[in-house]
Structure 1
Amino acid sequence: MLARLWDTLRTPSWAARIVALVGAVTLASSLLPALRGRTEMVYRLVPDVFPAAATTGAAAVGVILLLLSRALRRGKFRAWLLATVLALVGAVLHLVKGFDFEEAMLSLALFVLLATARERFTARPDPRSTRKLVTVLLAGPVVAGGLGWIWLELDASGEAAGTSTGDRASHALLGLLGIPGPVQFVRPEQGDRAAVALVVLGAAVLFLAVLVALQPADGPHPLDEEDREPLLGLLGRWGHIDSLSYFALRDDRSVLFSPTGKAAITYQVVGTVSLAAGDPIGDPEAWPGAVTAWLDEARAFGWVPAVLAASERGAETFVRAGLDALELGDEAIVHTSEFTLEGRSMRVVRQAVSRCTRAGLVATCHRVADLDASTTELVHARAEEWRDGAVERGFSMALGRLGDPRDRDAVMVLCRDAAGTLRGMLHLVPWGGDGLSLDLMRRDRDAENGMVELMVTELVRWAAGRGVRRVSLNFAVFRSVFARGERLGAGPVLRLWRGLLLWASRFWQIESLYRANAKYRPEWRPRFVCFRSSTDLPRVGVAALRAEAFLVAPTWLRRLLPS
């Protein structure tokens, strides 16, 4: 029983929790006053600057342990090494700062725990990140200065009368650089203690910055021309399998090929999640090799593997590789040979098209290669003007660029009014040789209602005459819940789930997107999210929202922290 408990405590997840606990205790111990009798004993044995330096050093150790706990959970070797060393250093600092035996024993116990768990921590460090380095350089002095300010506030007995909170804050920030601040001390040795303590905090910030700067540069990189050519070859032969295949050419994705080169998987690392989208590209028989290479890389770096919007066939491959799958929603596929405006079920679309036609709106379809420079420039300007929000949304079902010469076979649907003014657009990318996938939809909010129906109808008519058999429209999240929940006899759980989604639709376009697709009477094909464990779902969800740009940092912060 004890052996099993000891083995459990040494797993990365439990070790991370214990490190965070010891870090919190260490930080609190450094900020709270020490027992007077113990402190006097320390001052008789060592110079006054030693306890001060040990106190702030312990505060720095506590903060760093708290920061390391996240990396330890992912099994990072460097985090394990640093935490093990800091546990031993922390034990010494607890003794020097005030004979804090209890905290020292806790740190020693942590050292033993980590030292015996070496084989559990093998993940390589994340690739070097300018964003992370800038964050450390900006946030580090703020955190260290805050700790120094708290220390000066709590230990104000040796400061001259009239010292203000602002003086202490300025003194703390300047002290990180070794510069004397405005706080005056009653005795010189008290000023020396404060100076040494603040320099220790500043050195801790510098240490963290150097550690981040020395991270290796290897790892995933955005898709480049060297990778693009073989990926285009796979798309040319196998791109007809998955409607999302072409989105693998996004500029912000990385790619890993199977050992045979016959398949590939594209993904983006978002935080601690290696997020793939859609099915692997290439020969389905070689998909397992590409998935294995991707999972091996995620394991090596301690990333959480996840897949957004895999088809049923792709999800089966990921499940066989050890992941789990959960239905996320359905993709709307319109078959051009079956599409018609006739019949009662198409009355809404038919009326919208008639209304827009009477208003003088005209939709035309063009290959991107056939657009002249002035039209392309106009399309870019209007797409930017009509965009909802400050950033371009989409990852799993969006290309992230518009009218690019690299996408010659993409299709642009342009809708103009009677005066020739552009009022709306659709952008679709190739789906093999006989299909198209909707990438972007924009419209002037002041234009006639029903313009989207007009553009989709003209697109299907145009595509049918050019050998395009199928068109993939928008993705409807939890489509089956709405479809089954509104039927007679739906159970209470399903009705409750539908009610929650209807409430959420007041803030996000969930039901409206389903209704907008359903009016075209499409074929619905399920899409899945694949993940390693249910405990990973919160992180996967946040990563997906970040990748799709539904969670976005403020503009000023994005400018400050380049990728």
Structure 2
Amino acid sequence: MSSSSRRPAAAVRHLLAPLLVAGLLAAAVTLLHRSLRHYSWADLGGDLLALGPGVALAALGATAVSYLAMTGYDALALRYVGHPLPYRRYGLASFVATAFGNNLGASAVVGAALRARVYSSWQVPGSAITRIIGFNVVTLALGAAVLAGGGMLHDPAGVGVALHLPRAVVLAVGSLLLASVVGYLVWAVAGRAVGWRSWRVERPSPGLAVAQVVLSTFEWLTMAAALHVLLPAEDRLPFLAFAVAFSIATLAGLVSGVPGGLGVFESALVVLLGPTTSPAGLAVALVAYRICYFVLPLLLAAVLLVVHEARPVVEASRSVRLPSVLTPSVLALGVAGTGVFMVVVGDLPGTRALDVSAVTISLAGLSALLTARGLHRRLKGAWAATLALLVGVTVVAAAHGDLALAAVTAVLALLLVPARPAFYRGALFARPRNPAWPITAAVLVGAAVWWQEFSGFGGAVDAPLLAASFSGDTPGADRLVMAAGAVGILIGGRRTLAAAVPAPRVADDDEVARVADVVARWGRCTSHLAFTGDKRFHFSPHGTAFLMYQVQGRSWVVMGDPVGNPADFRELVRSFLGEVDRHGGRPVFYNVLPDHADLYRECGLSLAKLGEEAVVPLEGFTLSGRAKVNLRNCRNKSQRLGMTVEFVAPGDVAPLLPALREVSDAWLTQRNGREKRFSLGAFEEEYVSRFPLVVVRQEDRVIAFATLWIGADGREVQVDLMRRLPDGPRTVMTFLFLECILWAKENGATSLNLGMAPLSGLSTDATASSWDRVGHLLWSRGEQFYNFKGLRAFKQGFGPRWRTRYVAAPGGLALPSAMVDVATLVGGGIRGVVRG
């Protein structure tokens, strides 16, 4: 299979992955609801208290031993990489990474990021951190393989029913799991290092490998014990049999990709345990287990992480203000965790001085999840909305008798108040541009709450939002109202989290005059794009440099490099990034040269190649010689066809405008397109009249023209706006370019810029980025959309030097979104992008 055919398949897999996770979660919730439908969730609080302190302490003890055993993973890993550390250091890294990874899903990724964060602060080399992370993943897998593989071989029929797999497949997987453990031990005894290209893995010592298997198996057993002691004594399976079922269910949750395996782990365990455990006892045990093994360690890990992050500040200054310690991300995590709890658990029992339905509490939890994302982005609006929500939930939970939830939300609200300065992005309670959206959101949510609490028609559904949605017993009217409430919260959340985009405006005469002065003194050819009338300007404090930009979506797109005095560029770029950050935007420097690449990288931006521009060196340029025979023939043929060229000064352009307009309109009509903007000049009379003009005539009729940019020092000339009659001679544009080259050389210029060949020269080797690979695919297969290869071949005929152009933007998934915004901006809107 070719590499090009594999790429679409990878894209499809990437698209289907989140859909698969959502489907697994939905199926798991449905199965759980069917299995536990006879359990009254209103009794959950009382049943949890009925477990008693002895059982709770036993579960917490098993949890503590399990997390302690996991710190042994790091002890073995540090021995493996030969970088010993005191236990107080690697113990912190292990516990924080494990607690966060267990709760947030993608535990390998989350755990790796947090381990890297903590270990790097202890000056552990990056290569050693990578090996530690890989070693820990292998250690975790070994114990799971021992228990799950043994269980599959012991009871293939029961496991097959739980996982919906044939008995033969279960036997094969179980055998493969145990064989992999044996193979690992054999490799540690007699194997050699393995690797591919520059990637290499050294085998552990035999003693280290055996320790991995024993420690991991013990850790999995203690994890199972934390749940086993919570089950009703009369319903418990023998511990070893339960541990096997537990490990298989946990693996199912890990493979599903659902955060914490929530729902998938529980549903697999329900099927594996079968009729041996009562639904009520299992429901109570699972909730208690989530609290003991997931929620409480996560809260402790969050505190330890805050203390660790604050230590350098404490050492630098003994008086640490609360906001400097409680980072927005930590606060967001606390609010999100509370939101998940409310969404999943819903109504809790109590004195019910103020009775509120489980659906309403779940809707409040969904709101908390949305505002938590805004807290992470440091939005003022999210801070205000979260504070109001937490105060409201605190009052309702306290009146409802749920003192635990009231205490958590009250503490979070109190921590948010002094952290207010950390949330500086966007306007607080800004007036919405379209009031219909917030009104719609308020009506939908208000209707849902009224229906559940006060109408007397719906009769509050006695189940959390997710359970009620998948329940076959929920009336259709209630389903519709719940969906409306969720949609209202999503609409309101989107408006709360929307970037505060500055209102559109046009530069005033004073700004244009300042820009003209800077361009006249320091401008390059592309600096003349400042006069297209579609840009905002950001000036340096001294006014001797500026950035020209426009806002599209979340992207603040700067056209080209800074213009002006180079001494001001660093301060100019940093002040612009600060303005973008205050508005929650995304900075994009479009079509930049490598001259300032270090500055962009220093500011946290990544560079991606856009293409190459053709620059013809004029020193020594001549039409003589074999290499220029095609150009000579084209010039001679054009002259025989009666074509003449004229260079017109800016002051003499006005009389030609009607004829130029006729050529431009015919060119646009033939292309069935519209004027491009932002990165190109457009045919507007004021703009065209600012620059020298080259005009090609045939029998006194204008058949083609182009505007010319000239740099401040006169050394570089660039062709900008080009138009020709569709029925004109085919050689007219080559003739126009050639005459421009000769004119520029005659007038003392050293180079003539023919413009860019998009996506030209992108890397395709093993080091190529995803952007390069996609761009090269468009270059090689996208001729039906744009003449990529033909344009480069045309410009290559003039013998240019190719100069790389880049886009500097945040890396990762932000780049494709940023490029969509750029394309929309250049095309003058979505219609312009589609129509070309």
The TM-score with structure 1 as length reference comes to: 0.67
TM-superposed deviation, 1:456: 1.0
Q: Distance in 2 between matches of 1:430 and 1:126?
A: 46
TM-superposed deviation, 1:475: 1.4
In structure 2, the partner of 1:329 is 611
Distance verdict in 2 for CA 1:371–1:424, change over 3 Å? same
Structure 2 residue 721 is the aligned partner of structure 1 residue 440: yes
Structure 2 residue 835 is the aligned partner of structure 1 residue 553: no
Q: Distance in 1 between matches of 2:486 and 2:608?
A: 50
- Return 221-230 or 6-15, whichever deviates more: 6-15
Q: Distance in 2 between matches of 1:355 and 1:102?
A: 89
Q: Distance in 2 between matches of 1:474 and 1:545?
A: 18
- Return 17-26 or 494-503, whichever deviates more: 17-26
- Secondary structure, in 3 states, of the residue corresponding to 1:230? helix
In structure 2, the partner of 1:472 is 753
TM-superposed deviation, 1:370: 0.8
Counterpart amino acid of 1:511?
A: K
- Secondary structure, in 3 states, of the residue corresponding to 1:479? coil
TM-superposed deviation, 1:337: 4.3
Q: Could you tell me whether the CA contact under 8 Å between 2:375 and 2:383 is conserved in 1? A: yes
Counterpart amino acid of 1:476?
A: A
| Bigger Rg, structure 1 or 2 | 2
Aligned positions, number: 489
Q: Identical aligned pairs, as a percentage?
A: 22
- Deviation digits for residues 123-173 of structure 1 (CA, Å, limit 9, x no counterpart): 3439979xx613x53x556667777999999999959xxxxxxxxxxxxxx
Q: Distance in 1 between matches of 2:766 and 2:501?
A: 54
Q: Distance in 1 between matches of 2:683 and 2:362?
A: 50
In structure 2, the partner of 1:76 is 379
In structure 2, the partner of 1:270 is 552
Please identify which structure carries the higher helix content.
2
Q: Distance in 2 between matches of 1:365 and 1:342?
A: 24
Q: Distance in 2 between matches of 1:231 and 1:386?
A: 31
In structure 2, the partner of 1:253 is 535
- Deviation digits for residues 392-438 of structure 1 (CA, Å, limit 9, x no counterpart): 3243x424453316x65512333344472x44332223322523323
Alignment of structure 1 residues 133-172 onto 2, 5 Å: 133-134=433-434, 137=436, 139=437, 158=457
1:85 to 385, 388, 411: 388
- Return 119-128 or 101-110, whichever deviates more: 101-110
1:296 to 578, 583, 591: 578
Distance verdict in 2 for CA 1:491–1:203, change over 3 Å? closer
TM-superposed deviation, 1:77: 2.2
- Secondary structure, in 3 states, of the residue corresponding to 1:251? coil
Distance verdict in 2 for CA 1:93–1:378, change over 3 Å? farther
Alignment of structure 1 residues 402-551 onto 2, 5 Å: 402-404=684-686, 408-418=689-699, 420=701, 422-434=702-714, 435-481=716-762, 498=776, 501-534=779-812, 536-549=814-827
In structure 2, the partner of 1:186 is none
- Return 492-501 or 298-307, whichever deviates more: 492-501
Q: Could you tell me whether the CA contact under 8 Å between 1:234 and 1:262 is conserved in 2? A: yes
Q: Could you tell me whether the CA contact under 8 Å between 1:123 and 1:299 is conserved in 2? A: yes
- Secondary structure, in 3 states, of the residue corresponding to 2:507? coil
Q: Could you tell me whether the CA contact under 8 Å between 1:353 and 1:451 is conserved in 2? A: no
Distance verdict in 2 for CA 1:207–1:245, change over 3 Å? closer
TM-superposed deviation, 1:502: 0.6
- Secondary structure, in 3 states, of the residue corresponding to 1:481? coil
Q: Could you tell me whether the CA contact under 8 Å between 1:144 and 1:205 is conserved in 2? A: no
Counterpart amino acid of 1:458?
A: E
Distance verdict in 2 for CA 1:150–1:264, change over 3 Å? same
TM-superposed deviation, 1:335: 3.3
Q: Could you tell me whether the CA contact under 8 Å between 2:374 and 2:497 is conserved in 1? A: no
Alignment of structure 1 residues 48-67 onto 2, 5 Å: 55=360
TM-superposed deviation, 1:314: 2.9
In structure 1, the partner of 2:515 is 231
Counterpart amino acid of 1:425?
A: F
- Deviation digits for residues 282-306 of structure 1 (CA, Å, limit 9, x no counterpart): 2212222222322232233333223
Structure 2 residue 695 is the aligned partner of structure 1 residue 392: no
Distance verdict in 2 for CA 1:313–1:491, change over 3 Å? closer
Counterpart amino acid of 1:284?
A: P
Counterpart amino acid of 1:223?
A: A
TM-superposed deviation, 1:351: 4.4
Structure 2 residue 567 is the aligned partner of structure 1 residue 285: yes
Query: Greater RCO between the two (CA within 8 Å, min separation 6)?
Result: 1
Q: Could you tell me whether the CA contact under 8 Å between 2:425 and 2:584 is conserved in 1? A: yes
Q: Could you tell me whether the CA contact under 8 Å between 1:425 and 1:443 is conserved in 2? A: yes
Q: Distance in 2 between matches of 1:466 and 1:253?
A: 31
In structure 2, the partner of 1:561 is none
Q: Distance in 2 between matches of 1:219 and 1:554?
A: 22
TM-superposed deviation, 1:453: 0.8
TM-superposed deviation, 1:446: 3.8
Q: Distance in 1 between matches of 2:691 and 2:600?
A: 29
Q: Could you tell me whether the CA contact under 8 Å between 1:356 and 1:449 is conserved in 2? A: no
- Secondary structure, in 3 states, of the residue corresponding to 1:260? coil
Counterpart amino acid of 2:704?
A: G
Q: Distance in 2 between matches of 1:478 and 1:200?
A: 43
- Return 255-264 or 497-506, whichever deviates more: 497-506
Counterpart amino acid of 1:227?
A: E
Distance verdict in 2 for CA 1:205–1:356, change over 3 Å? same
TM-superposed deviation, 1:216: 9.2
Distance verdict in 2 for CA 1:109–1:474, change over 3 Å? farther
Measured on the aligned residues, the alpha-carbon RMSD in Å equals: 5.2
- Structure 1, unpaired ranges of 5+: 160-189, 556-563
TM-superposed deviation, 1:236: 1.4
Q: Distance in 2 between matches of 1:143 and 1:206?
A: 5
Please identify which structure carries the higher strand content.
1
Distance verdict in 2 for CA 1:543–1:199, change over 3 Å? closer
- Structure 2, unpaired ranges of 5+: 1-95, 97-300, 310-324, 459-476
Q: Could you tell me whether the CA contact under 8 Å between 1:364 and 1:458 is conserved in 2? A: no
Structure 2 residue 591 is the aligned partner of structure 1 residue 309: yes
- Return 215-224 or 307-316, whichever deviates more: 215-224
Q: Distance in 2 between matches of 1:466 and 1:439?
A: 18
Q: Distance in 1 between matches of 2:509 and 2:777?
A: 48
Counterpart amino acid of 1:432?
A: A
Q: Could you tell me whether the CA contact under 8 Å between 2:366 and 2:489 is conserved in 1? A: no
- Deviation digits for residues 357-416 of structure 1 (CA, Å, limit 9, x no counterpart): 44444443323421234x313433542442346543243x424453316x6551233334
Q: Could you tell me whether the CA contact under 8 Å between 2:394 and 2:410 is conserved in 1? A: yes
Distance verdict in 2 for CA 1:158–1:119, change over 3 Å? closer
Q: Distance in 1 between matches of 2:779 and 2:802?
A: 19
